[in-house]
Amino acid sequence: MDKGAPNTRLLSALSLSIVFSLTTLSSAQDGGFGAPVNDDDRAAILSIGADERNEAARTFESKGKEALEAADRDEARIKEIAKEITRFEAAISDSRERLVTLARGEADATDDLHNRRRRHAATFTAIVALSKAQAPAIIAHDGDTTLAARGATALAGLRAALTHEARETQRRTTEIQDLRERTKLARNEAKEAIASLRKRERELWTLIGKRREEGQDHLARAETLKREADQLAAKAEALDVAIVRAPPPALKPVRVANLPEKTIPAARRQPTIAEALGNLAAPVIGQIAARYDGGEGGNAARGLVFEAKPYSRVYAPWDGKISYAGPVKSFGLVTVIDIGEGHQVILAGLASNERNKGEAVLRGEPIGHLGGPITDGEEFLVEQSALPADAVTSLYFQIRRNGDPIDPVPWLE
């Protein structure tokens, strides 16, 4: 975690400061470094170490609370996004109904126009035939010019009325087609908006997981520093009491220490399996959803199933060496940690691995992340619901002794 790098350097500096101080005290008790350190100095050094740890604890606690508050704000934003998605989905549903209504209206108008054209085809044919005949109106009315004029006028009026009606029907059909196109455009824009909101929602879930993990990590470090500060303060107080009660120390001759040119730190001791029993850390921050039953009942539950927030970080439960890190059929990514004496810890269902085969890991070190419930797609359908705030994802946890699964519960702290 990049943001945690300065905090890690702060812890390292504090650790080096305390180790150097205690080394100085130990060397001084043996007469090294050319100058003795009395109990007053030792108490002062321990008090300084306690103050430094308390200050660092306050810093981590503040950063942890800030990260958790930011995660809460992001969850509130996700709820708002869900409301926006619901609104856009409702708009798409309404537009779909409008398109169906418009399509029916367009079909009815077109059918009406065609029916009118068929009904009046004979009339138009008669008008054209009469216009080409010699004196058609006079012949039809036995030479009565008045009646002939009235007949011609009626036929001309009928033609104009039919032409106007056809134009109005065509105009209505054109308007319906234009409204359909605009409705389709608005529907596509709503779909694009939903896709964008889904993408932002997915990004926020990832960010929430990281922030909550960072906040919990900072608060846990703060508690550790507080405990260490209390221990140092207690030692300093014990020294102060001893100084008051003890007689003045006898002077010792000054002795110069013969220091080697380079000091090689001792290698970290691998904890034993006996120490691991009852002290394994939970691999993820969450709840146990399914327990080990040794294969009884026909369901062959040979491990535990943890439920956690989407995209939660997964941690090494104990010190060990990674013997496998990669995909295993339908289990997703799997990490296997050898913790000694034929015992293995198996973690299945990861979405990403941060450690590789052959690497050594310590208890509580991050090794990967879980996945999330949101999947990518080319189009988000109207029926797809928004991701609930209480969504969870699963991690399978198993312990094996010489290849055989055993109940993990007694091993967890």
pLDDT band at 258 (very low <50, low <70, confident <90, very high): low
Q: What is the pLDDT of residue 150?
A: 65
Q: How far apart are CA 180 and CA 99, in angstroms?
A: 6
Which residues lie closer than 8 Å to 198 by C-beta, 6 or more apart?
85, 374, 380
CATH 1.10.287 domain residues, the chain: 1-258
> pTM for the complete prediction?
0.37
CB burial class (10 A; 0-12, 13-18, 19+) of residue 360? middle
Q: How far apart are CA 123 and CA 42, in angstroms?
A: 121
Give the range among 6-10, 50-54, 68-72 with minimum mean pLDDT. 6-10
State which amino acid sits at residue 57.
A
Identify the three-state secondary structure at position 364: coil
Q: What is the pLDDT of residue 44?
A: 81
pLDDT band at 389 (very low <50, low <70, confident <90, very high): low
Q: Taking 70 as the threshold, does the pLDDT of residue 210 lie above it? A: yes
Mean pLDDT in residue range 178-189: 87
pLDDT above 90 covers what percent of the chain? 34
pLDDT band at 399 (very low <50, low <70, confident <90, very high): very high
Mean pLDDT in residue range 259-269: 53
Q: What is the pLDDT of residue 340?
A: 94
Give the range among 87-96, 122-131, 227-236, 313-322 with minimum mean pLDDT. 122-131
Q: Taking 60 as the threshold, does the pLDDT of residue 137 lie above it? A: no
Q: Which of 3-17, 33-47, 208-222, 309-323 is most confident? A: 309-323
Task: Please check whether residue 43 is in contact with residue 50, taking contact to mean a CB–CB distance below 8 angstroms.
Answer: no
pLDDT band at 98 (very low <50, low <70, confident <90, very high): confident
Mean pLDDT in residue range 232-250: 71
Residue whose structure tokens are 């691998």? 270
pLDDT band at 267 (very low <50, low <70, confident <90, very high): low
Fold exhibited by the domain 270-372+389-413 = Glucose Permease (Domain IIA) (2.70.70)
Q: What is the pLDDT of residue 101?
A: 85
Q: Directed axis angle between helix 39-119 and helix 5-29, to 10°?
A: 170
CB burial class (10 A; 0-12, 13-18, 19+) of residue 337? buried
Q: Which residues in 24-166 belong to E strands, given as ranges?
A: none
Ramachandran sector of residue 357 (left: φ over 0; alpha: ψ -120 to 50; beta: rest)? beta
- Token digits for 202? 């997915």
Q: Does domain 1-258 have CATH number 3.40.50?
A: no
Q: Taking 70 as the threshold, does the pLDDT of residue 152 lie above it? A: no
Residue 213, phi then psi, degrees to nearest 5: -65, -45
pLDDT band at 282 (very low <50, low <70, confident <90, very high): very high
CATH 2.70.70.10 domain residues, the chain: 270-372+389-413
Give the range among 8-22, 135-149, 342-356, 360-374 with minimum mean pLDDT. 8-22
pLDDT above 70 covers what percent of the chain? 69
CB atoms within 10 A of CB 330: 6
Q: Taking 70 as the threshold, does the pLDDT of residue 132 lie above it? A: no
